[in-house]
Amino acid sequence: MEIQSQVNAMLTMQGINQGAPTRISMNSPSDKHGRRVVAIGRMFGDREDVPENAYRIIVDEILEFNAELFGARGKIFSDIDIGSSITWSKAFTIVI
């Protein structure tokens, strides 16, 4: 819960309304430095059905169709459509 509080504070400082669509980049968990952006989307505040260490993301653009989806063993971005809702680790999410 502490991490979520810090993220909420950061979003508020940047003038981003909690629960409003926020542009984010999703970095690859398979990249050991976490710097390879694989998709861009919008994050929607807290959701009860999302683990504490993740966000609910609406995918707007896929940059690497062969990148693995977080927490979905064997599934890659080419398996989903633009506009799909996915769960993505907070550790690999950057507000842009």
Q: What percent of the chain has pLDDT over 70?
A: 60
Contacts of residue 2, defined as CB under 8 A and 6 or more positions apart, other chains included, come to none
For residue 39, which of 67, 11, 8 has the smallest C-alpha distance? 67
Helix or strand run (H / E) with residue 23: strand 22-27
pTM above 0.85, yes or no: no
40/96 Cα distance (integer angstroms):
9
Q: Mean pLDDT throughout 2-6?
A: 64
Question: What residue type is 46 in one-letter code?
Answer: D
List 39's β-bridge partners, or say none: 26, 62
Region 16-27: mean pLDDT is 58
pLDDT tens, position by position, 72-82: 788 999 999 99
Domain ranges for the chain, please list them. Answer: 2-95
Determine which of 6-10, 53-57, 65-69, 82-86 has the lowest per-residue pLDDT on average: 6-10
